[in-house]
Amino acid sequence: MQTPTNRAEKNWVLGVTALASFMMALDAMIITTAFATIRAEFGSPVETLQWTVNAFNLTFAVLLLTGAALGDRFGRRRMFAAGIALFVVASAACALAGNATALIAARVLQGAGAALVMPLAMAILSATFGREERARALGIFSSITGCALIIGPAIGGFITEHFGWRWVFWINLPIGLIVITLVLARLRESFGPAAALDIPGLALVALAALALVWSLLRGNAVGWASAEVMGTLMSGLVFTAGFVLWELRAAAPMVPMRLFASRALASGMSASVLFYAAMYGVVFLLPQFLQITLGFDAFGAGLRLLPWTATLFVTAPIAGAVVNRFGERPLVVTGLLMQAIGLGWIAEIVSPAIAYSALVAPLVLAGVGVSMAMPAAQNAILSSVAVAEMGKASGVFNMGRFLGGMFGIAALVASFSTNGGAYSAAHFESGFAAAMRLAAMLSLGGAIAGLFLPTRRRTAGAAAPQDARR
């Protein structure tokens, strides 16, 4: 890529990539307060409803590295714009869905569009800014994305209450058209090495993820020791092993396993997978708890998520600047410990009669924690590789992020269903408390993984990423 040297040009790159990310994050958050309404209209159980999220996450996770490869081969700007267009068309299909199956299928297409957009946004952004500028740029990028996370639940609740849940998808159309126009007008075309597409690797990771999630989802319905659950679980493990072995031997691997020789990348990925597993599970269940157990409408539930989501806007830019001074490890470990404490606190105090005010402090604590850990983990991963491999590294990060989110939702829903259910407010509270305990344990596991991040060596000048750590 021809790296922009003009400050205004760099700002346009940051703005356009952040706006695309904003649209994706808005879509992810705006639907959270509509879940209860969608479930009621379609008559779907919670176990089915989760596929409206997991279908997106699975498709996104397994296709995003292919998306990065397509950008390298056919042009990053061109494929970036094509991905946004596919996402917009799929959003219209979501809005027109007549049943849960059609909605899930449309979410699959949304995931495919996002698989083109997100890795290329991160690759374009990371290649544009130097190492010392990158942390600040990622902090700003995260804060703009965080605006969607802040306003998304409230907007989704307002739209659902006043216009119907289908309009939470129609809103993507004007945003998407604006982004496409800006991409074509303001971004330079660039290409990467034209590597062969890793179709066997793509198939193996997709089958592995689907089998493992299926075993989690079906355990409560057919029994955890049943042939179906044990068979899919073992199949998932076999496919996972096959994927790793194939990637080690492939001439053009989708996931270069040599990247994991970097302690920063391996530890950062482990921490990211675990904290995104916890966060996505909470995002799925918390708005429904506020509506079903505490009795708020969709808009009211969205507003009451603000103590959690609003922390992203304040904390993420600060964390992006602080990471250059203190390194990633303190922020990742401290942030995930805060998230673990906050979620564990919620698990211990929830009840059908709890006042919402009692949830504010733990929500703020958890929100500040994830806002600290998120940009720090991103920077640890991207700074651990050479500029030429940032596209692959960003793809691996996002793949881990969404697979982690998918497994997190499946695991928390399994815990929810085992310990409660959506039959009544009391049943929902019991299942929700168990799910929050599991989310706290996942966050604690992420903090432990963060302890293995290397410390940053203070250097007098700019250093290559691999030389800046010990």
Tens-place pLDDT, residues 283-319: 889 988 898 888 888 888 888 888 887 777 677 667 7
What is the band of 364 on the pLDDT scale with cuts at 50, 70, 90?
very high
What is the pLDDT, as a whole number, of residue 102? 93
Percent of the chain's residues with pLDDT above 70: 91
What is the pLDDT, as a whole number, of residue 441? 96
Altogether, the residues listed in the chain come to a count of 470
pTM score: 0.79
What is the pLDDT, as a whole number, of residue 462? 37
Residue range 320-331: mean pLDDT, rounded: 79
What is the band of 384 on the pLDDT scale with cuts at 50, 70, 90?
confident
What is the pLDDT, as a whole number, of residue 466? 42
Note whether 253 and 247 are within 8 A (CB). yes
Best-predicted range by mean pLDDT (5-9, 240-244, 298-302): 240-244
| Mean pLDDT of the residues in the chain | 83
Q: How far apart are CA 109 and CA 182, in angstroms?
A: 23
Cα–chain center distance at 277 = 9
Q: Residue 25 corresponds to which tokens in the numbers above?
A: 């994050």
What is the pLDDT, as a whole number, of residue 301? 87
Cα–chain center distance at 406 = 9
What is the band of 193 on the pLDDT scale with cuts at 50, 70, 90?
low
What is the pLDDT, as a whole number, of residue 95? 93
Residue 463 has pLDDT above 70, yes or no: no
379 Cβ partners below 8 Å, 6+ apart? 134, 135, 138, 320, 323, 328
What is the band of 467 on the pLDDT scale with cuts at 50, 70, 90?
very low
Q: How far apart are CA 449 and CA 269, in angstroms?
A: 9
Residue 74 has pLDDT above 70, yes or no: yes
